[in-house]
Structure 1
Amino acid sequence: MSEAVPARRPLTSSEREGLRRVDPGKRALVIAAAMLVLVVSALLPWVGDAAGWQVLTGQADPALEVGLLPHLFAINATIVGIGVSTLALVTRRWVLAFLAALPGGVVTFEGLIAIWSRQTHEAAGPGVGLLLAVACMLVLTVQWIRTAWSQS
């Protein structure tokens, strides 16, 4: 004999709100630390003697020929790594955690290409700040993917 299936009841507003939120738990500390190191990496050299903030704002020495890729990575790492991650940590919304995870992977890939572009360039190679920024974006991406995945 078949068993009776209980009728579904609609979710209450508090239950729906709970489904929209994530709890990063201990990952929140790792995320915050990676964001802090990402900010500090902007003070370190990215290309030759040019610091990350100079690459970001376009104030690097023209003789270094920074190029588009490090500049694009600096912009996107600032937007995704600091901006979206901050919003996701503060609001704890699943959508923002997802938006920090997925574009974070793209930005990490951009950073790897920026490093490669500096290694194949005749002028100055990648600096420690650029390497550190890419590592921070990788950590942020992994942590946000794990956080967003825990909700599904």
Structure 2
Amino acid sequence: MNDHDVSPETRAEITGAEHAVLRRIDPGARAMVVALGAVAAVAGVLLPWVQGAPGWQVLAGTVTAGFFPTLFAWTLTVFAIVVSAATLLTRLWVLAWLAALGCGIATVNGVWAIWSMQTGGVGAPGPGLVIAVIAAVVLTFTWAGGAFQRH
């Protein structure tokens, strides 16, 4: 079968299918790691962050936590939870990159949040904040590996 045996409509359909496949990723076993990382991020948001207040209160702004814990709460929620879930559902390559980059930014923000709490006299970070930072690190490397291995 050569190019002359295929109609232009069929050729266009094959080309469209080829482009659709190239825009997708197959997370494989990474999907389970991402799901567990996202669940850990949600658990981190539900556990105490600042002076016994949970991360969701920092996110909502009902607790004065400082700039970096609030920034981390937002970047964690958007990238580690929402974008990761959207990427698993759609399997779009561009969303995998967005999740990797966003979780990387969230990781840096989380480390800054812990640092600012320890040096600002607020006290030690709560266990939820530490769990959330670890979840962001795991998601960063998991999504980066998946984005680099696009099929």
Q: TM-score range by the shorter chain?
A: 0.7 to 0.9
Structure with the bigger percentage of helix:
2
Any gaps of 5 or more consecutive residues in structure 1?
A: 1-8
Name the residue aligned to 2:134. Answer: 135
Is 2:73 the counterpart of 1:59? no
Name the residue aligned to 2:19. Answer: 16
- Amino acid of the structure 1 residue aligned with 2:97: F
Name the residue aligned to 1:3. Answer: none
Q: Return the offset for 1:124.
A: 2.4
TM-score by length of 2: 0.88
In 2, Cα distance between equivalents of 1:106 and 1:53? 19
- The alignment of Structure 1 onto Structure 2 pairs a total of residues equal to 140
- Amino acid of the structure 2 residue aligned with 1:68: F
Any gaps of 5 or more consecutive residues in structure 2?
A: 1-10
Name the residue aligned to 1:39. Answer: 42
Is 2:120 the counterpart of 1:117? no
Q: Return the offset for 1:41.
A: 1.1
Q: Return the offset for 1:77.
A: 0.5
- Amino acid of the structure 2 residue aligned with 1:114: A
In 2, Cα distance between equivalents of 1:142 and 1:19? 22
- Amino acid of the structure 2 residue aligned with 1:14: A
Q: Return the offset for 1:102.
A: 1.2
Q: Return the offset for 1:147.
A: 0.3
Percentage of matched positions with identical amino acids: 47
The CA RMSD measured in Å over matched residues stands at 1.5
Is 2:84 the counterpart of 1:81? no
Runs of 4+, deviation exceeding 2 Å: none
